[in-house]
Protein backbone atom coordinates (compact mmCIF):
# COMPACT_ATOMS: atom_id res chain seq x y z
CA UNK A 1 0.00 0.00 0.00
CA UNK A 2 1.15 3.52 -0.76
CA UNK A 3 -0.14 6.35 1.40
CA UNK A 4 0.54 9.84 0.10
CA UNK A 5 2.13 12.26 2.55
CA UNK A 6 1.29 15.73 1.35
CA UNK A 7 3.28 18.74 2.58
CA UNK A 8 1.50 21.76 3.99
CA UNK A 9 2.58 24.92 5.81
CA UNK A 10 -0.79 25.14 7.59
CA UNK A 11 -1.67 21.78 9.12
CA UNK A 12 -4.25 23.34 11.48
CA UNK A 13 -6.23 24.58 8.45
CA UNK A 14 -5.80 21.19 6.74
CA UNK A 15 -7.11 19.48 9.90
CA UNK A 16 -10.19 21.72 10.00
CA UNK A 17 -11.00 21.36 6.29
CA UNK A 18 -10.57 17.59 6.02
CA UNK A 19 -12.51 16.81 9.21
CA UNK A 20 -15.22 19.50 9.13
CA UNK A 21 -15.80 19.89 5.39
CA UNK A 22 -14.93 16.48 3.94
CA UNK A 23 -15.89 14.40 6.99
CA UNK A 24 -12.58 12.52 7.17
CA UNK A 25 -11.74 10.92 10.53
CA UNK A 26 -8.49 11.97 12.13
CA UNK A 27 -6.40 8.86 12.80
CA UNK A 28 -3.54 10.57 14.60
CA UNK A 29 -1.69 13.84 14.96
CA UNK A 30 1.85 14.50 16.10
CA UNK A 31 3.27 17.80 17.30
CA UNK A 32 6.90 18.77 16.92
CA UNK A 33 9.21 20.18 19.61
CA UNK A 34 7.91 23.68 18.81
CA UNK A 35 4.35 22.62 19.70
CA UNK A 36 3.09 22.94 16.12
CA UNK A 37 1.45 20.11 14.23
CA UNK A 38 4.10 18.06 12.44
CA UNK A 39 2.03 15.21 10.96
CA UNK A 40 -1.68 14.46 10.51
CA UNK A 41 -3.21 11.20 9.35
CA UNK A 42 -6.82 10.82 8.22
CA UNK A 43 -9.18 8.16 6.92
CA UNK A 44 -11.81 9.02 4.33
CA UNK A 45 -15.42 8.04 5.11
CA UNK A 46 -14.73 4.77 3.22
CA UNK A 47 -11.47 4.21 5.12
CA UNK A 48 -8.85 5.33 2.58
CA UNK A 49 -5.74 6.71 4.37
CA UNK A 50 -4.29 10.14 3.70
CA UNK A 51 -1.41 11.87 5.48
CA UNK A 52 -0.23 15.47 5.65
CA UNK A 53 3.03 16.67 7.11
CA UNK A 54 5.21 19.70 7.55
CA UNK A 55 7.44 20.42 4.55
CA UNK A 56 10.83 18.73 4.52
CA UNK A 57 13.78 21.03 5.12
CA UNK A 58 14.71 21.00 1.43
CA UNK A 59 11.17 21.22 0.07
CA UNK A 60 8.25 23.55 0.13
CA UNK A 61 4.57 23.13 0.68
CA UNK A 62 2.26 21.28 -1.66
CA UNK A 63 2.38 22.29 -5.29
CA UNK A 64 -0.72 20.46 -6.55
CA UNK A 65 -0.14 21.00 -10.28
CA UNK A 66 -0.62 17.64 -11.91
CA UNK A 67 -1.54 15.87 -8.67
CA UNK A 68 -4.92 14.28 -8.12
CA UNK A 69 -5.84 11.50 -5.75
CA UNK A 70 -8.46 8.80 -6.28
CA UNK A 71 -10.39 8.14 -3.06
CA UNK A 72 -12.78 5.14 -2.94
CA UNK A 73 -16.29 5.91 -1.74
CA UNK A 74 -19.00 3.54 -0.51
CA UNK A 75 -21.97 5.73 -1.52
CA UNK A 76 -20.62 8.31 -3.92
CA UNK A 77 -24.00 9.95 -4.61
CA UNK A 78 -24.80 10.53 -0.93
CA UNK A 79 -21.25 11.73 -0.22
CA UNK A 80 -21.43 14.15 -3.17
CA UNK A 81 -24.72 15.55 -1.88
CA UNK A 82 -23.31 15.94 1.64
CA UNK A 83 -20.29 17.89 0.38
CA UNK A 84 -22.37 20.02 -1.99
CA UNK A 85 -24.57 21.03 0.97
CA UNK A 86 -21.39 22.15 2.80
CA UNK A 87 -20.40 24.37 -0.16
CA UNK A 88 -17.28 22.32 -0.84
CA UNK A 89 -15.65 23.26 -4.18
CA UNK A 90 -16.85 20.48 -6.49
CA UNK A 91 -14.65 20.82 -9.56
CA UNK A 92 -16.42 18.06 -11.52
CA UNK A 93 -19.91 16.78 -10.80
CA UNK A 94 -21.11 13.20 -10.64
CA UNK A 95 -20.03 11.35 -13.78
CA UNK A 96 -20.42 7.74 -14.89
CA UNK A 97 -17.00 6.81 -16.25
CA UNK A 98 -16.46 4.25 -19.02
CA UNK A 99 -14.22 2.21 -16.71
CA UNK A 100 -17.24 1.50 -14.49
CA UNK A 101 -16.86 4.03 -11.67
CA UNK A 102 -19.21 6.85 -10.75
CA UNK A 103 -17.04 9.79 -9.71
CA UNK A 104 -16.89 13.42 -8.70
CA UNK A 105 -13.93 15.69 -8.07
CA UNK A 106 -13.31 18.08 -5.16
CA UNK A 107 -10.69 20.82 -5.26
CA UNK A 108 -9.42 21.56 -1.75
CA UNK A 109 -8.44 25.12 -0.71
CA UNK A 110 -4.78 24.42 -1.62
CA UNK A 111 -5.55 23.20 -5.16
CA UNK A 112 -5.36 19.44 -4.58
CA UNK A 113 -7.90 17.47 -6.61
CA UNK A 114 -9.57 14.48 -4.95
CA UNK A 115 -11.62 12.19 -7.19
CA UNK A 116 -14.12 10.24 -5.12
CA UNK A 117 -15.37 7.13 -6.87
CA UNK A 118 -17.45 4.00 -6.50
CA UNK A 119 -17.56 1.06 -8.91
CA UNK A 120 -21.13 0.79 -10.20
CA UNK A 121 -20.76 -1.03 -13.55
CA UNK A 122 -18.44 -3.21 -15.58
CA UNK A 123 -15.95 -1.42 -17.79
CA UNK A 124 -17.44 -0.56 -21.17
CA UNK A 125 -15.64 0.04 -24.44
CA UNK A 126 -13.43 3.11 -24.15
CA UNK A 127 -14.55 6.27 -25.95
CA UNK A 128 -13.37 6.93 -29.48
CA UNK A 129 -9.69 7.79 -29.56
CA UNK A 130 -8.80 5.71 -26.50
CA UNK A 131 -6.93 2.44 -26.94
CA UNK A 132 -6.60 -0.20 -24.23
CA UNK A 133 -3.23 -1.87 -23.71
CA UNK A 134 -3.27 -4.96 -21.55
CA UNK A 135 -0.06 -6.69 -20.51
CA UNK A 136 0.23 -10.34 -21.42
CA UNK A 137 0.00 -12.71 -18.44
CA UNK A 138 3.29 -14.15 -17.23
CA UNK A 139 3.44 -17.94 -17.45
List the CATH code of the domain at 5-54+65-119.
3.10.180.10
The 10s digit of each residue's pLDDT in 102-123 is: 999 999 998 889 999 999 999 8
The 10s digit of each residue's pLDDT in 27-60 is: 999 999 999 999 999 999 999 999 999 887 665 5
- Cα separation, 47 vs 25, in Å, equals 9
Contact 21, 86 (CB under 8 A): yes
pTM: 0.84
Amino acid sequence: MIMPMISSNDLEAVRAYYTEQLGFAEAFAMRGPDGNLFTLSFASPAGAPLMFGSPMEDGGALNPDGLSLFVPSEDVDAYHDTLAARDVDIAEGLTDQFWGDRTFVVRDPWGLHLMFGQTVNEMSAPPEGFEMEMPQPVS
